[in-house]
Structure 1
Amino acid sequence: MTQSTTSTGSQAYTSTAEFEAAYNTLHATYATHKTKDIRWRKWQLKQLWWLIVDNTDAICAALHADLGRTEAEARMYDIADVKKAIKECLDNIDVWARGHAAEGAGFLMGRLGGAWVRRDPLGVCLIIGAWNFPIMTLLSPLCPAIAAGNCVMLKPSELAGATAELMVELLPKYMDNSAIRIATGGPKETGLILERKWNHIFYTGGSRVGRIIATAAAKHLTPTVLELGGQAPAIICKSANVDLAAKRIANFKIANLGQICVNVNHIIADPEIYDAFLARLQHWLEHFLKEEAENPWLARIISPGHYDRIHSILSSTKGRILTTGPHEPSRNFVHPTIIADVALDDSVITSGELFAPLIPVIKADLSTALATLAPGSKMADPLALYIFSNSQPEIDSILNQTSSGGVSINDLAVQYGVPGAPFGGVGESGMGAYHGKWGFDSFSHARPVVNLPLWLEGGMQWRYGRPTIEKLSNFDTAKATWKRGETLEQQSSGQKGWFGWLW
């Protein structure tokens, strides 16, 4: 890596020599096994907590410099998310790291052999953050990585230069510099980083770069978690509460100026409620934007390049522009804009994930909506799917015929913060998951251990020598508990009745 400057124009990227030294240090540290000590893990998680708490004002200022984000939004999203992740790891690390008895191991392996599943750290891990939430996407996955006992190299996004510069300053002051390092750089530098062997790579970003990450990881058989995106739709069924759907979508689309991986990409509204929904969507967007003209508070687009991309999409759409306002290229600001009567082949849809405050609305029935999400279609497997319906048959039909990272019904993004639930994509929207124990499991290896007592040797002579039919009974022990010739109709669904859940 060579020295160059980030988007802030003031920070030098990590040099090749600095990176190599840091990389070697991490491997040397992991070889000492110090990060496997639960006390070390707890200490580092607490140090990360104080990094956040002591420097909240500086973090908010950096996020404002990079994205124009207000202090309230910075505290609500980035800071609160990281603190929650730290606390969850500290509260559960003793149980998670202990491992568990192998379920169904039986008397021989379980009772006598003490079959146990350990959770071992993976080694030296690489975490690559995203620019839209540069603190959250860098430090939230760091929490389970530390909790699992790994050494970690952090790579912040070069587009969020002020935040990256602040992390370069703060991390060595609070964290164990022999086990946790940070490297900065652009695409060229990231490419060099990916040439090295890592024991795990955690990446948050778009699917194009996700494929590059996966290709680089495959060379070393490195496991990955890829938190990507996709074109998350909101399906407004004819049974929906139209006003509530419009209110919640309008409010969420202006958060971080639409630059959220689980935000609504486009809306498909049933023809029966289409006009009513559009009217309420326009009403609520205007309502939430009343203060913007007099006291600007919305975030901005991350860079001129992204501003130009969004402006190009908006300029080429054949849809009908409804609510909009002044766009300001000088500060990379795109005004939230409703685009009505959008066709499925319109540029605002075919351009891919918008990541912008554009709100395309398509008039189509449920069957058409489902066709857009069919396996193999370009919009299949989004990171999020939003269903607005008051009909359980409608909801069940959509869930049974689609695939997505997560789903919220009659709401938006609440699937992201469910305690005990994973957050992650499927197919085009990524692989792997984190949050809580799901993150701990992603950064650790499930290692089964069995210790059969030596006094069993006298009764296990059959295992030695040439295999014979007589010895087969010791291996082939599975027996069918069903009858030959059963039909589809004779199969149980596996679902219990109402009374069945009492036992």
Structure 2
Amino acid sequence: MTELQHTPIGDLPAIYETLQSTFRKGISRPLAWRRHQLHQLARMAQENKDKFVAAIYADFRKPEMEIQIGEVGPIVERSIKSAELLEEWAKPEAVDVKAAWQQSWGSTLYKTPKGVVLIIAPWNYPMILSLQPLIGAIAAGCTAVVKPSELSPHYSQTLAELLPKYLDTSAFRVVNGGVEETTALLEMKWDHIFYTGNGRVARIIAAAAAKHLTPLTLELGGKCPVVLDANTDLRIAAKRIFWGKCTNAGQICVCPDYVLVPRSVQDAFVEALSEVYKEFYPEGALNSESLSRIVNQMHYDRLQDLLARTKGEIVLGGKSDGHRGIEPTVFKNVQEDDSLLEGEIFGPFLPLVPVDSLEEAIDFINARPHPLVLYAFTEDPKFKQALIDQTRSGNIIFNDTFQQLAVNELPFSGMGESGYGYQIMNYSFDGFIHLRSSVHVPLEAEPFFAGRYPPYTAENVNLLAGPAVNMEIPPSAGVNGNA
């Protein structure tokens, strides 16, 4: 592991004050300045893609294709597109006021930046998860500290060296380090904190933010279930689910964590997965450059412990090497008290949990914290609608894995234990702005307000409050239940 150069804790107050001063002076407010910074971010990613690929590969051997498609490419594209759409996103919105007597007030929503923000990123997708929130912060007119993970030191060091060459360092800074540096950052008063990671750390961050009443975006993880319809194409489902499980060796928050498979087709689904495995890794997964390694020994040992304690039957994979490589491994007949269902796996293990009905699958999901993503493979509209109506999750995706992340127009968000707040493109922008309501009441309207001033009279109460208090409430036809 490379030696990460920690940012001296003594430097943090000066960094913070510099960003505060820049924001107070309005330097980050002009759209032309924001657009230039977004273009510079795209340029940094594009011109240094080989450096970023090499750094992330050095951290845990993530395949180049996964880095280019899932990290470098989206940063370039979304930075450029955000710059193109910036004027549309940031322009004040005239509000369509319905009450005739208020229509001359010029009711307006201004998109004002929240201020100086802190972005704390994880190691598993270090580039996209540190810079995608930064795109939103730049677009919103904020200044920001980016704190990448110390568990991806090659990437974090590369970012610290490259970002000052492209972005305005009076507005954007990288702070590197571990728990001590992060703790020092959390003692400061930020205008927004964007954290991507796990629920345990999120609680620490939320507690620190609460001391300053700082708003948060929490992008967390959890166990993302897959519900399989017995009548779906098992071969396609196996290919798409297995690809989702193998990407980054399962080290991603939207990874399909376990499959609720109809008992009647469990063996057929295992056979389909076996065929897909041979296609993906003809030379064996541990010999393949198409499979990431586990990020560090601690996580490797954690996965080995799950493997040692599971009572599920290994039907595919199960081997590991001395270099933090673990084969994608499939387990069948996994029961609800199994080690593999204790928490988010975050590794290349795929438990199959047999169920006898869709209702049983729904009950299984609802008995657990709301997942970040619920995946389902079905062509049956009723099956689909039942999942939409009877479950809750941050996202619900049909007949593929991960592809929701590729749609620029869709928000990405958790729910409950899997987080809150939205991101991707304009949703990232929205997370870093405040909708500042405004009215401009004409002075000529003063005669209209005569009745609101003291001394209050029964006549004026009836005049001003009567129309609302005495509004007729229409009947709710066809609705059962008590009032």
TM above 0.5, yes or no, is yes
Contact 1:266 1:359 in 2 (8 A): yes
Contact 2:281/2:288 (<8 A) preserved: no
Return closer, same or farther for 1:439/1:323 CA change in 2, 3 Å cut-off.
same
Name the counterpart of 2:396. Answer: 407
2:317 to 309, 321, 324: 324
SS of match in other structure, 2:264: coil
CA pair 186-43 structure 1, distance change in 2 beyond 3 A = same
Q: Is the 8 A contact 2:226 2:256 kept in 1?
A: yes
Deviations 1:316-351 (A, max 9, x none): 11111111153123x21111111111111111112x
Equivalent position of 2:464 in the other structure: 474
**For residues 82-127 of structure 1, what are the alpha-carbon distances to aligned partners after superposition, in whole Å with 9 as ceiling and x for unaligned?**
1222123112110111121123353333x31110000100010000
Partner of 2:22: 29
Matches within 5 A, 1:336-375: 336-350=328-342, 352-365=343-356, 366-374=358-366
User: Alignment partner of 1:455: what SS?
Assistant: helix
What's the offset of the Cα at 1:391? 1.5
State the Cα distance separating 1:294 from its structure 2 match. 5.2
CA distance in 1, matches of 2:392, 2:295: 30
- How far apart, CA to CA, are the structure 1 residues paired with 2:303 and 2:155? 24
The answer to whether residue 30 in structure 2 is matched with residue 41 in structure 1 is: no
CA distance in 2, matches of 1:285, 1:297: 12
Q: Determine which of 2, 13, 35 is the counterpart of 1:8.
A: 2
Closer, same or farther in 2 for the Cα pair 1:414/1:485, shift >3 Å? closer
Superposition deviation, residue 475 in structure 1: 4.0
Which residue does the alignment assign to 1:275?
267
Q: 1:52 aligns with which of 27, 45, 56?
A: 45
Q: Does 1:128 align with 2:120?
A: yes
Is the 8 Å Cα contact of residues 251 and 285 (structure 1) preserved in structure 2? no
- SS of the equivalent of 2:7 reads coil
Deviation of residue 256 (structure 1)? 0.6
The AA in structure 1 aligned to 2:67 is: A
CA deviations on 1:3-55 (whole Å, 9 max, x unpaired) are xxxx522x321111111211111111111011111111111111111111111
The answer on 1:434 being equivalent to 2:423 is yes
- Aligned in 2, Cα 1:466/1:84: closer, same or farther, shift over 3 Å? farther
Alpha-carbon distance between aligned partners in 1 of 2:435 and 2:186, rounded to the nearest angstrom = 25
Instruction: Please point out which of 214, 227, 233 is paired with 1:235.
Output: 227
1:315 and 2:304 correspond: no
- Per the TM alignment, residue 169 of structure 1 is displaced from its structure 2 partner at its CA by 0.3
Partner Cα separation in structure 1 for residue 477 and residue 135 of structure 2: 50
Contact kept? 2:270, 2:315, Cα under 8 Å: no
Q: 2:150 is paired with a residue of what secondary structure? A: coil
With the length of structure 2 as denominator, give the TM-score of the two structures.
0.95
What code does the residue aligned with 1:445 have?
H
1:201 aligns with 2:190: no
Distance 2:145 2:331 in 1: 42
Output the CA distance in 2 between the equivalents of 1:487 and 1:251: 47
Gaps in structure 2 of 5+ consecutive residues: none
RMSD after superposition = 1.7
Tell me by how many angstroms 1:213 deviates. 1.1
2:250 and 2:346 in contact (8 A); partners too: yes
CA offsets per residue over residues 441-462 of structure 1, 9 Å max, x none? 1100000110011111123211
Equivalences for 1:61-76 in 2 at 5 Å?
61-76=54-69
How far the C-alpha of 1:295 sits from its partner, in A, is 4.5
Partner of 1:494: none
Residue identity matched to 1:231: K
Letter in 2 for 1:124: V
Measure the CA separation in 1 of the matches of 2:338 and 2:288.
34
CA distance, structure 1, for counterparts of residue 50 and residue 201 of structure 2: 32
Question: Residues of 1 paired with 2:88 and 2:464: CA distance?
Answer: 36
Q: Find the counterpart in structure 2 of residue 284 from structure 1.
A: 276
Q: 1:173 aligns with which of 165, 168, 174?
A: 165
Distance 1:133 1:369 in 2: 30
Secondary structure, aligned partner of 1:265: strand
User: Is contact 1:372–1:380 with CA below 8 Å preserved after alignment?
Assistant: no
Q: Output the CA distance in 2 between the equivalents of 1:425 and 1:355.
A: 17
Alpha-carbon distance, 1:373 to partner: 1.9
- Taking the aligned partners of 2:476 and 2:330, their CA distance within structure 1 comes to 58
Change (3 A) 1:105 1:27: farther
Give the letter aligned to residue 90 of structure 1. Answer: A
1:122, 1:150 within 8 Å by CA — same for their partners in 2? yes
> In 2, distance between residues paired with 1:92 and 1:177?
24
Q: In 2 relative to 1, CA 477–158 (structure 1 residues): closer, same or farther, beyond 3 Å?
A: farther
SS in 2 for 1:422: coil
Distance in 2 between the 1:425 and 1:397 partners? 20
Q: Which residue of 2 aligns with 1:396?
A: 385
| 1:498 aligned residue | none
Structure 1, residues 250-285: CA drift from partner, whole Å, max 9, x if none? 122111111111010001101222221121112212
Q: After the TM superposition, which of the residue ranges 259-268 and 64-73 deviates more from structure 2? A: 64-73
SS of residue matched to 2:256: coil
Query: Residue 95 of structure 1 corresponds to which residue in structure 2?
Result: 88
TM-score, normalised on structure 1? 0.91
- Once the two structures are TM-superposed, the CA of residue 485 in structure 1 deviates from its matched residue by 7.4
Alignment of 1:131-146 (within 5 A): 131-146=123-138
Contact kept in structure 2, 1:41 and 1:149, CA below 8 Å = yes
> Do the aligned residues in 1 keep the contact of 2:372 with 2:418 (CA within 8 Å)?
yes
Instruction: Identify the residue that residue 454 of structure 1 maps to in structure 2.
Output: 443
1:155 equivalent among 142, 147, 152: 147
